[in-house]
């Protein structure tokens, strides 16, 4: 029988090691934190990106996301523009400086993730791991959102 406490421990410790390594490389080689790079990636990849979209993608609070977007704006990496169809919200867009940061950070990010996540596993094992992790994340979101318990 699989020891779920050990699985939890391994997953959390691996996430910590992965985050710290990728963050250190990004800060050293691209002068951006992983947290900021993540936000820039979401903004870049989400048409008509709103603060709520970033929060949902990164599984963080809307309030915390709004403050983080404020910091990105202050750095000159993004701007908020009026939403074309909803006067109550705004669209977050990359500036030219933000796009330049992302262009510099992307290869650093990709290499660091490949080194610690992609290379140690055979492609079929990585595919199974990715599918399993995606299922776990979706299930957790459903359980938390609906207050159900699958235990």
Please write the tens of the pLDDT for every residue from 31-63.
999 999 999 999 999 999 999 999 999 989 999
Q: Residue 59 region, left (φ>0) first, then alpha (ψ -120 to 50), else beta? A: left
Question: Is the domain of 87 the same as that of 108?
Answer: yes
Q: How far is CA 132 from the centre of its chain?
A: 18
> Are β-strands 78-82 and 90-94 bridged in parallel, bridged antiparallel, or unpaired?
antiparallel
pLDDT tier, 148 (very low <50, low <70, confident <90, very high otherwise): low
Cβ neighbours, 10 Å, residue 101: 24
Question: Is the domain of 45 the same as that of 89?
Answer: yes
Domain holding 128, by residue range, is: 121-151
3-class SS of residue 142:
helix
Percentage of the chain modeled with pLDDT above 70 = 97
117 has pLDDT over 80 = yes
CA-angle at 27, arms to 137 and 117, nearest 5°: 40
Q: Are 61 and 55 in contact (CB under 8 A)?
A: yes
Tell me which of 59 and 79 has the higher pLDDT: 79
Residue 134 token pair: 């995606």
Question: Is the domain of 85 the same as that of 48?
Answer: yes
Q: Are 54 and 69 in contact (CB under 8 A)?
A: yes
Question: Is the domain of 137 the same as that of 108?
Answer: no
- Number of domains forming the structure of the chain: 2
Question: Is the domain of 150 the same as that of 84?
Answer: no
């Amino acid at each position: 029988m699989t020891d779920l406490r050990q699985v939890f421990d391994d997953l959390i410790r691996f996430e910590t090691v992965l985050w710290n390594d990728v963050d250190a490389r990004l800060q050293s080689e691209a002068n951006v934190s992983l947290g900021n790079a993540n936000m820039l990636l979401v903004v870049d990849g989400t048409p008509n990106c709103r603060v709520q979209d970033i929060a949902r993608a990164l599984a963080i609070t809307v309030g915390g996301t709004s403050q983080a977007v404020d910091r990105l704006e202050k750095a000159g990496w993004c701007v908020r523009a009026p939403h074309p169809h909803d006067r109550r919200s705004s669209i977050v867009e990359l500036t030219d400086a933000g796009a330049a940061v992302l262009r510099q950070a992307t290869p650093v990010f990709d290499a660091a993730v490949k080194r610690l996540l992609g290379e140690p596993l055979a492609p079929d094992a990585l595919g199974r791991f990715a599918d399993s992790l995606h299922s776990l994340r979706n299930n957790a979101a459903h359980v938390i959102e609906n207050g159900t318990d699958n235990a």
